[in-house]
């Protein structure tokens, strides 16, 4: 399954890409979604830290939250990410 997510700026895309996927182990640093506030997603990472990511709009946040839930439940794994300017493509198996 594949998803494309849009952000408002390149910094948010790069930050998000570095948190979402570890290529060697095909795993994600994200352990849970703590909160969604309009176009902002607050996530918890494996190191117990929390981070805020600003998406382009609420639709992109909801789309990602739905997509990532099966990964957090360990039903799927993220197998690749590809950053393209203000977008990120995420593929899970």
pLDDT, tens only, 56-89? 999 999 999 999 999 999 999 998 899 999 999 9
Q: Residue 24: is its pLDDT beyond 80?
A: no
pLDDT computed for residue 29 by the predictor: 84
Q: What percentage of the chain exceeds 90 in pLDDT?
A: 76
What average pLDDT score do residues 32-52 get?
95
- The set of residues, in sequence order, having a beta carbon less than 8 Å from that of 45 and lying 6+ positions away, is 19, 29, 30, 31, 51
pLDDT computed for residue 23 by the predictor: 64
Give the C-alpha separation, 56 to 25, whole Å: 29
In this prediction, residue 28 has a pLDDT band, given cuts at 50, 70 and 90, of confident
Range of the domain at 38: 2-92
**Strand residues in 14-93 grouped as ranges (E):** 30-37, 40-45, 50-54, 78-84, 87-92
What average pLDDT score do residues 41-68 get?
95
Q: How many structural domains comprise the chain?
A: 1
pTM of the entire structure? 0.89
């Amino acid at each position: 399954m594949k998803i494309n997510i849009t952000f408002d700026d390149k910094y948010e895309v790069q930050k998000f890409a570095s948190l979402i996927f570890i290529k060697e182990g095909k795993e994600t640093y994200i352990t849970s979604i703590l909160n969604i506030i309009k176009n902002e997603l607050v996530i918890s990472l494996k190191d117990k830290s929390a981070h805020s990511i600003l998406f382009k709009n609420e639709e992109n946040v909801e789309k990602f939250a739905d997509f990532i839930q099966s990964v957090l439940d360990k039903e799927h794994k993220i197998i690749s990410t590809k950053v393209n300017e203000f977008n990120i493509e995420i593929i899970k198996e």
